[in-house]
Amino acid sequence: MSNALPTGRTEISCDVLVIGGGAAGIAAATAAGRAGAQVVLLERYGFLGGLATSAQVGTICGLYLRDETGVEAVPVSNGFASEFAGRLQQTSGTKPLRVDRGLWVLPYFPPDFAHVASTVVGETKNVKLISHATVANTCVENSKIKSVRALAWNEPLNFSAKAVVDCTGEATAAALAGAGSENGATDQSPALVFVLENVDPTLALRGLLEARRELRVSVQKGILPALCERISIVPGSGKNGRFAFKFSLLPANPDLALWQQVTDWETESRALLEPLVNFLVNNVAAFRDARLESVAPQLGVRSGRRILGRARLADADVLNTLKSVQGIARGCWPMERWTAAPKPEMNYFAQQKFYDIPFDCLRPVELENIFVAGRCLSAETGAMTSARVIGTALATGWAAGTAAAFQAAGKSLDEAVALIRKQMT
């Protein structure tokens, strides 16, 4: 009996092919489906939500304007991001939380994010979801993607689509099709999220000062490596003594291939968890009865490959809250860059302000029928540290899906931009 994979391919046609079922992908698929397109959504896991679920991020940033004095969070715009956030609040039983410097976030329980994503996509009847699917290759003719090849549960599939939306987070399909791109893996350090139960609930108010003090001493004595000092509490966690913690690693080594770097990151961070947790239990009073409940299935990679688009979101555009007549999404999160330092470098713009992301930031120079969304759009390094967050990814995903549906139907992209802008306001 042969163990070889089948040599034939199943042929699937659609109007819009969305690759990646994270925040941007579910928004893109829903937008295209609601616009009347026949949509196929490819997701590499068996659940939706991307890093919001697999990396157990736990908070949505980029939904609300920064405001140090207001009593309620003010959404940066109307549209799908606000709709999704409202449904997630109902499911998770959470509400916006103000953290440092007037920043508002929305805490959530990661399985609830996956549930709401599945519900929203499922309600859009003309979206076909294919899980456990990864893109392998593309075929391009006359600056258009004619077909996309993928493996779905090890079965080869071939997709013919009128328009493609790349929401992979790594511009995978766009790069395979020949789009110009740059590697931003060295721009930001990744993080691994883990959850401890039976922690003293007052830790939510007291913070990690005592733990950091003990960790610093252990590092100085050579008991633990310096990386173990790089932990923080995920905002909004701590209910009934169940705390989520973020363990930040170091940025990528530019001399390593990204696949090797990610493997090293995953291996290193998971190997450190046991000694780190044991140390906290044995040396910090708040953790005396703590137990490791879960570890995120995937490392939270903050930055990777992004396209070189027809427009590029500049650092100055973000800091000066620049508006654009082609703005299809609004960004309101500051530049947040995680480097080798224990805390992120924060670069704020004015309170109650936002910047626009121009439509052409979603469009590769070389290709006509593919759009990107999420953290692989065209942006300078600093701008991407703002635009990469989940709330903004929901907005750019909606814009890309709407544009793809219009293009598949032979409609003007200018009309798509006008509709997206109307929906935002």
Provide the β-strand partners of residue 256: none
Domain of 376: which CATH number? 3.50.50.60
Give the burial string for 186-216 (b: 16+ CB within 10 Å, else e): bbbbbbbbbbbebbbeebbeeebeebeebbe
268 lies in a domain?
A: yes
**Of the candidates 295, 313, 334, which is a domain's last residue?**
295
Helices (H), 19-109: 23-34, 51-54, 80-92
Answer with the one of 263, 295, 327 that is the final residue of a domain. Answer: 295
Q: Are residues 362 and 232 in the same domain?
A: no
Per 3-state DSSP, the chain is made up of helix, strand and coil in percentages (nearest 5) of 35, 25, 40
Same domain, residue pair 162 and 55: yes
pLDDT in tens, 392-401: 999 999 999 9
**Each residue of 208-238: pLDDT tens digit?**
999 999 999 999 999 999 999 999 999 999 9
In one letter, which amino acid is 137?
A: N
* Lateral strand order in the sheet of 97-98: 59-60, 104-107, 97-98
Same domain, 255 and 113: no
Q: Assign residue 260 a region: left if phi > 0, alpha if psi is -120 to 50, beta otherwise?
A: alpha
* Full domain range(s) for residue 37: 10-186+303-424
Do residues 397 and 374 touch, judged by C-beta distance below 8 A? Answer: yes
Give the pLDDT of residue 5: 44
Q: Supply the pTM of this predicted model.
A: 0.95
| Other CB atoms within 10 A of residue 417 CB | 21
341 pLDDT higher than 90: no
Residue 357 belongs to what H/E stretch? strand 355-358
Report the domain count for the chain: 2
For residue 20, what pLDDT band results from cuts at 50, 70 and 90?
Answer: very high
pLDDT band at residue 8 using 50, 70 and 90 as cut-offs? low
* 313 neighbors 357 (Cβ within 8 angstroms): yes
Are residues 122 and 218 part of one domain? no
222 and 151 in a single domain? The answer is no
Residue 203 and residue 281 in one domain: yes
Q: Is beta strand 155-166 parallel, antiparallel or unpaired with respect to 10-19?
A: parallel
Q: What is the pLDDT of residues 21-31, one digit of tens each?
A: 999 999 999 99
User: Do 342 and 373 sit in the same domain of this protein?
Assistant: yes
Using DSSP, state whether 165 is helix, strand or coil: strand
**Structure-block tokens of residue 248:** 């930040």
Asked whether residue 144 falls in the same domain as residue 275, the answer is: no
Based on the fold, state whether residues 276 and 330 are members of the same structural domain: no
Q: What average pLDDT is seen over the chain?
A: 95
Question: Does 181 lie in the same domain as 52?
Answer: yes
Coil vs helix vs strand at 273? helix
